[in-house]
Structure 1
Amino acid sequence: MIAFPASVRVWIAVGRTDMRRGMDGLALQVQQALGRDPHAGDLYVFRGTRGDLVKILWHDGIGMSLYAKRLESGRFCWPTPTDGAVEISAAQLAYMLDGIDWRNPRYTFRPTAAG
């Protein structure tokens, strides 16, 4: 996993995105459809039609980076609001990339007694 700065903002571009787009096409989508600056240092997450592939666009101040992740089975949990973007935390992004429902993560272990 690439280490992002702790203060980074993560934006999910809701809806479906053409996964044939590269970093220039996705940066243009951020600028036109979302109305945000793709060079501001924020992370932008896009999902394809099938739901098993995401691409993350990030400008670190030096250059643009494009990351992709495909799940072997299952689909990424994705919001369905009508606005163009949803902001999540970096921890929620980590859950998403692990295939966990980032909206309501559940602990698998809870201690029954202290000590």
Structure 2
Amino acid sequence: MAAKIETALAAHPFDSRVFVFRGRRGNTVKLLSATEDGLCLLAKRLKEVRFVWPQATSGSVCLTPAQLLMLLEGINWRQPQH
């Protein structure tokens, strides 16, 4: 995943960002984040629904922390219910 970040996104995996990748079926995401002494990889799979994924025209999209939390919960972060 770190190599994919460097080649496909022209970014450095140790930047202070969280990189989020979706699986082919849309029900799995992996998050890669740098720590002081390495990288942390987290994964989540939804049982019944798919993650609402942003449209990326340039290969990457910036999400707010709130949008990322809604995405990880399987909530349609584009049209959240109040």
Tell me which interval the TM-score lies in, with the shorter structure as reference length: over 0.9
Mapped partners of 2:76, 2:37: distance in 1: 32
- In the alignment, the residues of structure 1 paired with residue 48 and residue 58 of structure 2 have an alpha-carbon distance, to the nearest angstrom, of 28
Aligned residue for 1:61?
Answer: 36
Q: Percent identity?
A: 43
Gaps of 5+ in 1: 1-25, 108-115
Query: Structure 1 length normalisation: TM-score?
Result: 0.68
TM-score normalised by L of structure 2: 0.93
Match of 1:77 among 42, 52, 56: 52
**1:36-89 deviations in whole A, cap 9, x for unaligned?**
111012100000110000000000222101000000111001122321100001
CA RMSD of aligned residues (A): 1.0
1:38 matched residue in structure 2: 13
Structure number with greater Rg is: 1
Higher relative contact order (CA 8 A, sep 6+): 1
- Contact 1:39/1:61, CA 8 A, preserved across alignment: no
Task: Select which of 73, 77, 82 maps to 1:98.
Answer: 73
Secondary structure class of the residue paired with 2:20 = strand
Letter in 1 for 2:53: W
Runs of 4+ in 1 over 3 A off after TM superposition: none
How many aligned residue pairs are there? 82
CA deviation map 1:74-107 (0-9, x unaligned) = 1001122321100001111110111101122121
